[in-house]
Chain A
Amino acid sequence: MNSTPTNDNPFAGDSSGIQQRETAARWGLRVGSYIVVLITVAIMLHIFVKGAPVVFRSQWPFVNTQFLTELPATLHVIEDQQGNHIETDVNGADAVKKKLGDHFRAEKTISYSGGGILGPIVGTALLVIVSVGVALFLGVACAIYLSEYAKHGKFLEMVRLAILNLAGVPSVVFGLFGLGAFVLTAPRFVGVPAERSVFAIPLGFTTISFEGWDTCVLSGGFTLAFVILPVIITASEQCLQAVPQGFRETSMALGATRWQTIRYSVLPFATPGILTSSILGIARAAGETAPIMFTAALAFKDKLPWQKDLPPLPADASIFAHWEQSVSRFLGIFTESVQALPYHIYTLAAKIPQNEYAERAQYGSVFVFLVLVASLAASSVLLRKRLRAKYRW
């Protein structure tokens, strides 16, 4: 149309609509991206606006220390005749009522919403330690085997497929598996097997009884380990594969055995990536609710895992007895059930009647949780940067 000889622009575009389609495509993609960004920002802002006031104070020390250092408790709210609300815990309620006397109008109790969230924080930390420890050990071993030892072929393909499938299994399935495997059947050493024991092998001085570990940190941690295992295996294998083949060849050509080669010229250069991926695994493990619901988490617990009543030692107890008790106290941490942040949030949001006090506790917990996860992610990025600078090729 516009390519008439009178037109002296030899590069004039035609009007077939290609330009319009180009513009439409660009705007379509751009709008999509903006929506994603917008929603992300909205989520963050929402949690910040509602959660930050719970955690921060306008006066020194600017942080609501009670929220971070106390266990969750039932909140008592007492209303006086003027309509003022006084918040207190179960111990303070009577004193407040007495003081108000005739001014007392009504009392409300809101479960789990008072006190702080130290219990859930500690529980989540313990679960993360166990799960990441187990998953790193199994995952890195598996990745090394797959990447450095296994012969390529059908079997390897099947193992890879299995691992990918594991990543696609809904986490509630892991929860049920953990219940069956770790809570109810995992082997333990006992004097006398419990009645529910599936199978017992007497060894004389003790018995290996397949009677499970009960709901505890160990059961939950192992279950979570299997949730994050695919992530860790896949990422570790990628990191191992990223180490140049030349390093392996050179090392072998110098007479190193396969394990020496892995130990001295593959693993050191893959570790930064493996650590980074494991930190992301931490975030994942910390956030899962379903796998710990049946295996480790309690809605309420009035003690921290190490606050257990052990029989007091006699005054003349040997140093060995003290030492033994400390060890059993330490090990006992892992055989206790705990509260955990995601499960606490779930309880606050879904298990108790909603009101302003419950909502406040919810958003406070969510805010703390997000800050923890964000700082983990940030530290993984920092760690990767520093290690990369040290080991680059």
Chain B
Amino acid sequence: MTITAPAGPIGTEDPVHQPPPVPRPEGITRTRRRRRLGPGRKIRGAGLLGPLILLAAWTIGSATGALDPRVLSAPWTVFTTAGTLWDNGRLQENLLTSTERFAYGLVLGVVAGTVLALIAGLSRWGEALLDGPVQIKRSIPALALLPLLILWLGIDEEMKVITIALGVFVPVYIHLHNGLRGIDSRYAELAETVGLGHAGFVRKVVLPGALPGFLLGLRFAVTAAWLSLVVVEQINATSGIGYMMELARTYGQTDVIIVGLVLYGLLGLLSDGLVRLIQRRALSWRRTLGS
């Protein structure tokens, strides 16, 4: 038999001249790579691609007049407005107020969620007492509590920070508690055989094992904090990005509203990136598809 196809590596597709299935001679290596499963290799700067396309579409739309500036201001208008707001100091002032609210609420909520989850996750009594109420709270959106919180706390900073914290503590609690309870019982067995005491078991096994859950909860918490912030800042605020936007609405200044939106977006991205960085650092022992 003659083979007319070029002597390619075994496994080369050639429907006509497919060689009969002979046992592969020694010394010939198989060169066709198997297709790699999983999402594949990482693309550099992948996170920026989508936003850049959106920005381009926006710019083109404004430049060609397809976008009415009363509906959506042009990017360059937004840019100059941001410059003006910066120059007269309003931008920094409002940004600072919002960031402060966000930070206080986040810290308060994370601390509360962590403490509650530790109590519920490490003791059966703690779980019996705490888990039920938290699960009930979980099914009520933090924002649905606003009327009550306003009645109790007024419309000042206190109410705003507490509302944010209430939105934050639930995901932290849920994911940390889940992580604490989900520790592999084989590790508990190991801890017994190497003679770790209860404290050692918690320190060396339970807490590090629950860290991935905690950090996942933290990511949800950051999102929840921004969400709550946006809402509470629309309510009778006298400062903050939300207030700035609300004011702009009454004067029909689309550009200022968009500056506010972009700021919220940037801050959200920034804080999420920060948590992801912490995640990567703290979980360097994990090899997952995403990294």
Do the two shown chains form a genuine complex with each other? Answer: no
